[in-house]
Structure 1
Amino acid sequence: MTTIPLIIGLVLGVAVFVGYVFVLIGMRQEDRRMHLGDAPPSCAAGLARRVTGCHVRG
């Protein structure tokens, strides 16, 4: 019974880490292109824009 919270915490920790890696990858792609007004080049770049608040509306 005490292992269930540990497993849940581990799964949540891995999910946060994967999300962090996606945002880092997206930020690196955007840094090279320098075109925030265009559509994002990948899903990771779109996620990075959404998390940092630099997404294009419209």
Structure 2
Amino acid sequence: MSALPLIVALVLGATVLVGYALVLIGMRQEDRCMSLGKVPPSRTAGLARRVTGCHVRG
């Protein structure tokens, strides 16, 4: 039996987990600033806005 499916599943799971953590960090930064109408304070906050659909078009 091949271990390839297990490795692929672990890599995809880790990728999803890291992405989820980045969105959570970005959302926490937005909570402190209370400024969704302005430019995001960091890249993680920008990612959180993009993922949740609350991004500023400019």
Coarse TM-score class (shorter-chain normalised): over 0.9
Name 1:37's counterpart in structure 2.
Answer: 37
| TM-score normalised by L of structure 2 | 0.95
Percent identity, please: 72
Give the gaps of 5 or more residues in structure 1.
none
After TM superposition, the runs of 4+ consecutive aligned structure 1 residues lying more than 2 A away are none
> Distance between the aligned counterparts of 1:19 and 1:52, measured in 2?
13
The alignment yields a C-alpha RMSD, in angstroms, of 0.8
Counting matched residue pairs gives: 58
Name 1:18's counterpart in structure 2.
Answer: 18
